[in-house]
Amino acid sequence: MNTAIYVRVSTQRQAQAQTIEQQLEQLQSYANRQGWQIAQEYIFRDDGYSGARLNRPGLDQLRDQVAMAQINRLLVLAPDRLARNFVHQTLLVEELQNRGCQVEFLERPMSQDPHDQLLLQIRGAVAEYERTLIAERMRRGRLSKLQSGTLLPWTVVPYGYRCSIEHPRDPAGVEINPAQAAVVREIFSRYGTEHISLVQLSWHLHELGIPSPTGKDYWTRSSLRSILKNPCYMGQVFSNRTRSCPAQQRRSALKPIGRKSSTRQQDRSEWLLVCQIPAIISQEQFDAAQMNLQHNQQFGKRNNKTHEYLLRTLVSCGHCQSSCFSCARGKGYRYYVCNRRIVAKHLEGNDKCNASYIPAQQLEKIVWNDICEILQHPESITQAIEQLQAGQWLPQELQARLAQLKQAENNLQQQLERLTQAYLVNVVQLDEYQRRRAQLESQIQASVVQQQQLTLQAHKKLEVANLAQGIEEFCQRVKTGLSQASFDQKRKLIELLIDRVIVTGNEVEIRYVMPTHARGETTHFCHLRLDYFYLVSQQTAS
Contact assessment for residue 30 and residue 5, using Cβ atoms and an 8 Å cutoff: no
Nearest CA-CA partner of 357 in 375, 379, 374, 333: 333
Treating both helix axes as pointing N-terminal to C-terminal, what angle do 395-424 and 430-478 enclose, rounded to 10 degrees? 160
What DSSP letter does each residue of 330-384 carry, written as one string?
TTTEEEEEEHHHHTTTT--GGGS--PPPEEHHHHHHHHHHHHHHHHH-THHHHHH
Question: Cα angle at 8 between 7 and 9, to 5 degrees?
Answer: 140
- Please, how many CA atoms are within 13 Å of residue 514, restricted to the half-sphere of its CB? 27
Contact assessment for residue 320 and residue 289, using Cβ atoms and an 8 Å cutoff: no
The rounded Cα 497 to chain-centroid distance in angstroms is 22
Cα separation of 514 and 381, whole Å? 9
Catalytically active residues, by annotation: 10
Nearest CA-CA partner of 470 in 537, 531, 406: 531
Nearest CA-CA partner of 208 in 187, 178, 229: 187
Cα separation of 129 and 425, whole Å? 66
3-class SS of residue 539: strand
Q: Are strands 507-515 and 324-329 parallel, antiparallel or unpaired?
A: unpaired
Contact assessment for residue 181 and residue 156, using Cβ atoms and an 8 Å cutoff: no
CA max distance for the chain: 108
Nearest CA-CA partner of 314 in 326, 329, 301, 327: 326
Cα separation of 391 and 383, whole Å? 10
Contact assessment for residue 344 and residue 218, using Cβ atoms and an 8 Å cutoff: yes
